């Protein structure tokens, strides 16, 4: 058996390590990445978690930005805006994503192509 003094010392040491860990974690936060790491798309068929970093990083698939995004799109505009892929445009946002994502996966023979593989309720 351990004495109460040893047990108290162990708890105090654990508390000190906890405080030091929290302070160090808070003191050195990671910066916000220039590109998003993951994006959650919301749709009527269920949410889709897209790993942007894996698709664009050279260690991943290494897909170029303009393979998915419009070349004429500037930094202030969004493809989900009313004038690009909104509810009244053709193709709609969901159609554009299906053409790019599912078409690329089928063409490359990799990644999910079934509905339930991407759409999560």
Q: What is the pLDDT along the chain (121 residues), one digit of tens a residue?
A: 578 889 999 999 999 999 999 999 888 878 887 778 888 888 888 888 889 888 888 988 888 888 887 766 555 556 766 667 777 778 887 888 888 888 888 888 888 888 888 888 7
Residue 9 lies in a domain: no
Residue 54 lies in a domain: yes
Look at residue 83 in the predicted model and tell me its pLDDT.
Answer: 66
Burial 34-66 (b: 16+ CB within 10 A, else e): eeeeeeebeeeeeebeeebeebbeeeeeeeeee
Residue 29 lies in a domain: no
In this prediction the pTM is 0.58
Look at residue 93 in the predicted model and tell me its pLDDT.
Answer: 79
Residue 26 lies in a domain: no
Number of domains in the chain: 1
CATH number for the domain spanning 111: value is 3.90.10.10
Residue 28 lies in a domain: no
Q: Which domain holds residue 105?
A: 39-69+80-118
Look at residue 94 in the predicted model and tell me its pLDDT.
Answer: 82
Residue 107 lies in a domain: yes
Cα–Cα distance for residue pair 97/3, rounded to 1 Å: 65
């Amino acid at each position: 058996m351990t004495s109460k003094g040893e047990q108290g010392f162990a708890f105090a040491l654990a508390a000190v390590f906890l405080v030091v860990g929290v302070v160090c974690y808070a003191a050195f936060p990671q910066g916000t990445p220039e590109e998003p790491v993951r994006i959650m798309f919301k749709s009527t068929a269920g949410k889709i978690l897209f790993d942007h970093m894996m698709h664009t990083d050279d260690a991943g698939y290494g897909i170029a930005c303009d393979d998915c995004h419009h070349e004429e799109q500037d930094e202030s505009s969004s493809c989900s805006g009313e004038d690009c892929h909104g509810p009244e445009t053709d193709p709609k946002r969901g159609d554009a994503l299906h053409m790019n994502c599912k078409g690329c996966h089928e063409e490359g023979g990799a990644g999910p192509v079934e509905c339930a593989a991407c759409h999560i309720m």
